[in-house]
Amino acid sequence: MTTQYYKFILKNSHLFWKRTLFLPSGKVKVLQRIQSIYMFLVVILNGVLPFWVYLWTDALGEAVYADDDMVYSALFICSAVMAFLTIFLFKNRKRQFVLNRLNIILNFVLLGFFVYRSLILSGETNAVSEKGIGMLLPIVSIVFLVLANKAIKKDEDLVKSVDRLR
């Protein structure tokens, strides 16, 4: 079975350039739009990583994750669910664009909470807590959402230009 799989890959190697995802079960799922990949990365960034990567360490040196605080976990989960739902709105690009903007605003709110938290916790001395890499997750999510919105806008402009030619 594996040799047939590799022969299929070699025979259809042009599919990789069309953003194709091969699953080991032999089924082929095609992600034809780059914004779907960007939004899937936002789902991973906001739905999985905040619960694995610590946000900061407290004064006792214990790592604080998103599930330790209900507000942070609710905002991360809400952002991940919104990004996941917008992946499947590919037929309605305007709604997808608006929901991505709302998700960007939600990530800015989450970033505001982190900035407020980091201003309270200076991290200058050993007795005060330190910031973690998890506090950067909303910034990376915002970047991917902006890239997804640019790709959605590009698709919308392409559709409009084709409609003008008709």
| Cα(119)–Cα(157) distance, integer angstroms | 42
* Matching residue, tokens 């739009």: 33
Q: Is the dihedral of CA 115, 104, 137, 82 positive or negative?
A: positive
Q: Mind listing the pLDDT tens digit for each residue in 38-61?
A: 999 999 999 998 888 888 777 777
Give mean pLDDT, residues 88-115: 92
Q: What residue spans of 12-126 are helical by DSSP H?
A: 34-47, 70-87, 93-120
Q: Which of 165, 156, 114 is nearest to 139 (CA)?
A: 114
The pTM assigned to this predicted structure is 0.74
Give SS3 for 64.
strand
| Cα(102)–Cα(105) distance, integer angstroms | 5
- 122 burial level (CB within 10 Å; 0-12, 13-18, 19+): exposed
- Per-domain residue ranges of the chain: 1-32, 34-165
* Matching residue, tokens 């330790």: 68
Higher pLDDT, 26 or 83: 83
Reported confidence tier of residue 161, pLDDT bands at 50, 70, 90 = confident
Higher pLDDT, 40 or 165: 40
* % of the chain beyond a pLDDT of 90: 39
